[in-house]
Structure 1
């Protein structure tokens, strides 16, 4: 299925057909004039871009009264209070900027996103992201079954926008669970499962996410597995893969941060990802400025343009087989994929390492191998084929855990230092 060119998915598909990588910032400002300036700068960057409105923490957690008080008092927030500003205000933010050649996506982080979906639709936006698992387990204590029910309603609400002659778009955040230290096969499986959930509830334009991890070769295998499973299981929808620049502790040095973003851009090209969500050289220290976001967009686009595509697929190890086994185990639990997800976590068939949500079994553990690959150390009841190779010490001590969390930061700062 091909999405209309005026849609978010259609725009990305057209850019990909023309050989361009779509780059996107993670940008949200509480003041409407600053949000408009950020979108304007993103649109006019020297790159193929889409816009982002990231909501504030009060909005994403449903504390709308607190968001309203902040707006009324002029208190700065860490994002745009989409459900608090009147629709006419947000329409003015978008007027003359958003259009067929510059779609805008709303990013939120909400386990119960009803107000966000209602607000974005009220201002004529039709693209957002998240998922019943990926925006519940890491970010909330909302019961998974509650999040699933809310996301079912929100998918139906977003899908209803098709009556207005647009093709709504929903991106799964499942490939970014916890941002780091989650073995790739589980990230791939969760991204595919949330995409299937979206499809089951009426969406026909979907993107599947994957976050850059700790080993570039392993990431190539993982995105290859994600692409293969999506092609097999989503034949009747328009879809693309979106890659996220590393979401864990970012390099402290500007040079190290740039090297990491460059690697993300090259990874996107080599794996055929259609869109890249960037990070900036200021990421480890503060919220980036608009200018820093534009610089990241432009340097990522330039690196991508200079990177030749991979002529052969990355060699597959166990990632595809593990991801397929996880997906099939969940789909076999119930004909309703929402209920199947709830059952899978209750039984530990899905289990996210180091995730403290009450509905996560917490028995699976990962370990960072010497070459930076993420491997299973303890698998609990995960529905994996056979028994993964063991013998490495699980990351259980605080020193080991902190060392693993800072691995990418240290590695790229050292590379930058060595290059001086």
Structure 2
């Protein structure tokens, strides 16, 4: 008797697709605790949110750099780690964490930040995890000193670990979030699609492509439309993919209402763009790691705003077109000329500065390109380096200085906190 066919979609992808078809935005926290009891309580709280939610287990810093011995000693001492040490906890404990919590109506993603995640991925495959994320570029350049060729080779092996599982595992590219801010949309889109192509090349079918909210809602709407169009073109007809948006990952507003306005802006952006999943931030991001309760508050708020936006959103909208799609397409097609496969093409393109993340100090990144926020809040290239991209043409983006860089890093913090202060003044509170 033949073996039953593997499920067409991963459990994670099935849940996201079903929620989207029901008109619900999937919301997700960034949450991780070292001990199983607290982490399990966090997952249960997220599962009980009034909305479509998926769980997150964020991995600790020791595990990210494969220092599992230090993670084990920290567990023995009862140290307060900044995440869940999957490998150090062991497979039986991680299965206990997920048992009775993860399921068809509540898949769980493990988020890590590792450039060399082979041991982590092997453990996740053995415990039956639903999803994880990262990529050969997006988890190498910002977070490590690992040479890009080594990370690319390691990620090829890791993709095959996931692809060999009988039950499909979902893999999300982090390519649309490089450095969190000040990377123009065309490069974020190109990197996310290229990493998605890399995953497909190494046997994975269930994937998501990402984009991080920037400084202009109009520009972000155009960018998300371009990302969706390019993913459809490049990921293949047999791939199951969706888009995930990240609430702004740069310097966050300091006032609670400013932070909630930032989150609200990202939720409305997600709904208007047709994005399926949103990674939220909380009101305390500017100060510390949020508690379980603060994460739940943010998720409940996001779900309510999403429902409100769906009720009020117009049936159609005219997107401005500034060439983001064309520029991202050019970056993708030209990159593929630098190698015989996607991995070698990525390595070759970065070695020649043809792909170049602004302000990224990794030794395999040329760091000759620069970006700036113009007076309208639009993020533009100010120096292209060797990349085939267009610099600002009279929109006010000029050469970046140390002072202007600091000002740009705080752009959204000032913008959303200023709205709160102006509102408080109008109400006679200040």
Q: Does 1:380 align with 2:381?
A: no
Q: Are the aligned partners of 1:206 and 1:240 in contact in 2 as well (CA < 8 Å)? A: yes
* Alignment-derived partner of residue 347 in structure 1: 352
Q: Which residue of 2 aligns with 1:270?
A: 272
Q: Which of 310, 313, 333 is the aligned partner of 1:328?
A: 333
Secondary structure at the counterpart of residue 332 of structure 1? helix
**Helix, strand or coil: the match of 1:280?**
coil
2:400 corresponds in structure 1 to 395
Pairwise CA distance, 1:197: 0.4
Could you say which residue in structure 2 is the equivalent of 1:282? Answer: 284
> What is the DSSP-based 3-state SS (H/G/I as helix, E as strand, rest coil) of the residue aligned with 1:307?
helix
Given that 2:222 and 2:324 are in contact with CA atoms closer than 8 Å, whether structure 1 keeps it comes out as yes
4+ aligned runs moved over 4 Å, structure 1: 2-6
Shift of 1:312: 2.9
1:15 aligns with 2:16: no
Q: 2:427 maps to what in 1? A: none
> Paired residue for 1:80?
84
Q: Distance in 2 between matches of 1:61 and 1:419?
A: 45
1:13-412 aligned at under 5 Å gives the runs: 13-161=17-165, 163=166, 166-234=167-235, 235-308=237-310, 309=313, 311-312=316-317, 314-384=319-389, 389=393, 392-397=397-402, 399-412=403-416
Distance in 1 (alpha carbons) for counterparts of 2:274 and 2:7: 19
Q: Deviations over 1:126-146 (max 9, x none)?
A: 310000000000001100000
The answer to whether the 8 Å contact 1:189/1:324 transfers is: yes
Tell me, in whole angstroms, the C-alpha distance in 2 between the residues paired with 1:289 and 1:9.
27
Match of 1:413 among 412, 417, 429: 417
Rounded Cα–Cα distance in structure 2 between residues aligned with 1:105 and 1:160: 18
Q: CA deviation at 1:334?
A: 2.1
Compared CA separation, residues 81 and 176, structure 1 to 2 (3 A): same
Partners in 1 of 2:388 and 2:23 — Cα distance?
Answer: 38
| Structure 2 gap segments, 5+ residues each | 1-5, 425-430
| Helix, strand or coil at the partner of 2:258 | helix
Deviation at 1:326, TM superposition (A): 0.1
* Contact 2:10/2:206 (<8 A) preserved: no
Q: Retained in 1: the 8 A contact 2:9–2:240?
A: no
Cα pair 2:61 2:83 within 8 Å, conserved: yes
Conserved in 2, the CA contact under 8 Å of 1:56 and 1:81?
A: yes
Q: In the alignment, is the contact (CA less than 8 A) between 2:223 and 2:325 conserved in 1?
A: yes
CA distance in structure 2 between the aligned counterparts of 1:3 and 1:280, rounded to whole angstroms: 35
TM-score (norm 2): 0.94
Q: Give the direction of change, closer, same or farther, for the CA distance of 1:6–1:353 in structure 2 (3 Å limit).
A: closer
Relative to 1, partners in 2 of residues 1:370 and 1:3: Cα closer, same or farther, differing over 3 Å?
farther
Conserved 8 A contact 1:179-1:211: yes
Distance 2:40 2:241 in 1: 28
User: Does the 8 Å contact 2:10/2:170 carry over to 1?
Assistant: no
Q: CA deviation at 1:38?
A: 0.2
RMSD: 1.4
Name the stretch that deviates more: 199-208 or 6-15. Answer: 6-15
CA deviation profile, 1:233-278 (whole Å, cap 9, x unmatched): 1222000000000000110000000000000000000001000000
Number of positions where the alignment pairs a residue of Structure 1 with one of Structure 2: 414
State the Cα distance separating 1:124 from its structure 2 match. Answer: 1.2
Asked if structure 1 preserves the Cα contact closer than 8 Å seen for 2:351 and 2:366, the reply is yes
TM norm structure 1? 0.96
**Residues 210-250 of structure 1: CA distance to partner in whole angstroms, max 9, x if unpaired?**
00001111000100100000111122200000000000011
Residues 71-109 of structure 1: per-residue CA shift (max 9 Å, x gap): 111111000001100211111111111011100000000
Q: CA distance change for structure 1 residues 335 and 204 in 2, over 3 Å: closer, same or farther?
A: same
1:5 positional shift: 6.2
CA distance in 2, matches of 1:97, 1:387: 49
Deviation at 1:387, TM superposition (A): 5.8
Cα drift, residue 388 of structure 1: 5.1
**Is the CA contact 1:3–1:238 (under 8 Å) kept in the aligned structure 2?**
no
